[in-house]
């Protein structure tokens, strides 16, 4: 398993009139978290794109347990559990720092395409890195 | 079944550097679409809230088939297939108008809470309306 | 003067915990409004871009008078008062439909660049259209 | 002068199809930056709100010099230059970390209201703190 804890904070921009984070904002937190997980193992997304590969989301899910509030510090626990065959699945859990409350979980599934938008197999350089960390 | 077609359009604000709608924007389209579906059967969300009921999202999913582009007109086909027992499920399909391309589908599941955030049964006035339309 | 009334509606996604539209959302409304004003005089932004011209914002301002609420219908009155020499200025006023309340005003100023990001003079086809409408 | 450097990073969610940060996102960066500046001098916004004061934006401006790109680390230099008489002005400059490029500047002006939305003088506890730091 590849794991990364991404720390971020909730601001006014994220909060709706129920006083909690608006539901689609979690998918931004997920994006920030997976970008940092990938950078952490040497796979900087900008560099993946410069090599001609893009990882569009093909499926995304989030389950909401408790609302996060303005100025809450949260941790997005981010995990890759298996190397991608055709698609890469990334799992997320969101926790509030101050009381260790479990706020949400979810996943995103990513395809691989080239600049022209054509589906591709996951590139070897990416598989090699993920496999080397997963088999650890 | 209760169904509603919500028409909207894609703007620069929605588009990422792949030239397609960023994945979390679909959940905004879903929110706009369900607000209009509910208004269409007489359940204006502001009025539901004035009566002391809130419908937070407890689960949300989206599957992405094709990317929507800047200035695409899209239709969000929105459906309620059954009256809520404890939770209300709403389904969505997103289609591009000009070529009738199928872009995405998904759902949201909503709980019912009061102003204090305590879980509630779905209110009778809401069940009555939904049941009357579903049994049509 | 070139003028266009853009109608839109406020949803949960726009509202913060003060119960009013979060301040940066007005700049999305402005973008939607100017895109429709330009389309209305035959200048579809996608087509301007296909011709190799981009109109990045170089300055943007908004003054907030009254808050817009969830499910408010609003009108963005959008105006071009003069043809661009080097830069295009677009003015906006936001009004609430139901009580004709004045909510906000502001402007955006746009430069012209090519695909490589180099500054350009406003293209002739665009000047011709704007001049023909302004001199009316 | 009260000054604070807020560090953040640009993600896919922020980038438009020109490959640069969409113009309204800077106002989110400004909000994050001023929230941290205020916390840094002991004025946590959540606590100000618990005391019954809200600081809605009454005017906001941004000038865009250069575009920020995906995965750019940026610094938002945030400043309060004078204690508020009726309104609080906060200034911002955005710089890219890696090449020290100047990307944008702007300001926000904030009023003071109570829970009922009525205009208020700036509260004494807030003036005292700001004055003590400014006169340093």
DSSP letter string, A63-130: EE-S---TT-EEEEEEEE-S--SSSEEEEEEEEETTT--EEEEEEEEE--B-TT--B-PPPHHHHHHH
Distance (Å, rounded) from C-alpha D74 to C-alpha D72? 6
pLDDT digits (tens, 9 = 90+) for B38-60: 999 999 999 999 999 999 999 99
What does pLDDT average to over chain D? 96
Residues A43 and A65: their CA atoms lie apart, in Å, by 31
Interface of B with A in 11-40 (CB under 8 A): 18, 20, 23-25, 27-28, 31
Give the distance from residue C25's alpha carbon to the nearest chain A alpha carbon, in angstroms: 10
Amino acid A135: pLDDT: 78
CA–CA distance, B96 with C98 (Å, rounded to integer): 32
Q: What are phi and psi of D124, to 5 degrees?
A: -55, -45
C97 touches chain A (CB under 8 A): no
- Per residue in A52-89, is it b (16+ CB within 10 Å) or e — as a string? ebbbbbbbbbbbbeebbebbbebbbbbbbeebbeeebe
B28 and C45: CB-CB below 8 Å? Answer: no
| pLDDT greater than 70 at residue A136 | no
Average pLDDT over every residue of C53-65 = 98
* C-alpha to C-alpha distance for D4 and C4, rounded to whole angstroms: 41
pLDDT band at D23 (very low <50, low <70, confident <90, very high): very high
* A60·B61 Cβ contact <8 A: yes
Could you give the percent of chain B with pLDDT greater than 70?
A: 99
State the nearest Cα–Cα gap between D2 and chain C, in angstroms.
24
User: What confidence score (pLDDT) does residue D7 get?
Assistant: 98
pLDDT, one tens digit per residue, over D56-85 is 999 999 999 999 999 999 999 999 999 999
Give the confidence band of D136 by pLDDT, cuts at 50, 70, 90.
low
pLDDT at C75: 98
Mean of the pLDDT values across residues C43-71? 98
Name the residue facing B19 among D13, D17, D22 (closest C-beta): D17
Q: Give the pLDDT mean for A34-63.
A: 98
Domain boundaries, chain D: 2-134
The position carrying tokens 């998918």 is A27
Give pLDDT < 50 ranges for chain B.
none
Contact yes or no for B57 and A23 at CB 8 A? yes
- The domain A2-134 is classified under which CATH number: 3.40.50.2000, 3.10.129.10, 3.30.1180.20, 3.40.50.2300? 3.10.129.10
CA distance B106 to B104: 7
What is the distance in angstroms between the Cα of B40 and the nearest Cα belonging to chain A? 22
**Can you give the pLDDT at residue C135?**
78
| pLDDT surpassing 80 at residue D135 | no
* Tokens 């266009």 -> residue: C4
**Tokens of residue D125, six digits:** 């506890």
The pLDDT assigned to C89 comes to 98
Query: CB-based contact (8 Å) between B44 and chain A?
Result: no
Query: For C49-76, what is the mean pLDDT?
Result: 98
Task: Using CB atoms within 10 Å of the CB of residue A109, give its burial: 0 to 12 exposed, 13 to 18 middle, 19+ buried.
Answer: middle
For A48-54, what is the mean pLDDT?
Answer: 97
Please tell me the predicted confidence (pLDDT) of residue B27.
Answer: 98
In this predicted model, what pLDDT tens digit does every residue of D78-132 receive, in sequence order?
A: 999 999 999 999 999 999 999 999 999 999 999 999 999 999 999 999 999 999 9
In this prediction the pTM is 0.97
Token representation of residue B66: 């094709």
Q: How many CA atoms lie within 13 A of A130 on its CB side?
A: 20
Average pLDDT estimate for A93-115: 97
Give the list of residues 6+ apart from residue A23 with CB closer than 8 angstroms, or none: A62, A64, B27, B31, B56, B57, B60, B108
């Amino acid at each position: 398993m590849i794991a990364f804890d991404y720390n971020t904070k909730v601001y006014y921009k994220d909060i709706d009139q129920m006083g909690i984070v608006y539901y689609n904002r979690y998918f931004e937190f997920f994006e920030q978290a997976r970008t940092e997980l990938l950078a952490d193992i040497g796979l900087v997304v900008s560099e993946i794109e410069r090599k001609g590969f893009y990882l569009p989301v093909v499926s995304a899910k989030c389950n909401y347990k408790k609302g996060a509030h303005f100025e809450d510090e949260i941790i997005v626990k981010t995990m890759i559990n298996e190397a991608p065959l055709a698609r890469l699945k990334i799992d997320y859990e969101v926790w509030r720092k101050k009381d260790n409350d479990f706020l949400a979980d979810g996943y995103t599934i990513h395809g691989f395409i080239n600049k022209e938008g054509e589906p591709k197999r996951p590139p070897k350089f990416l598989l090699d890195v993920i496999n080397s960390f997963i088999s650890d």
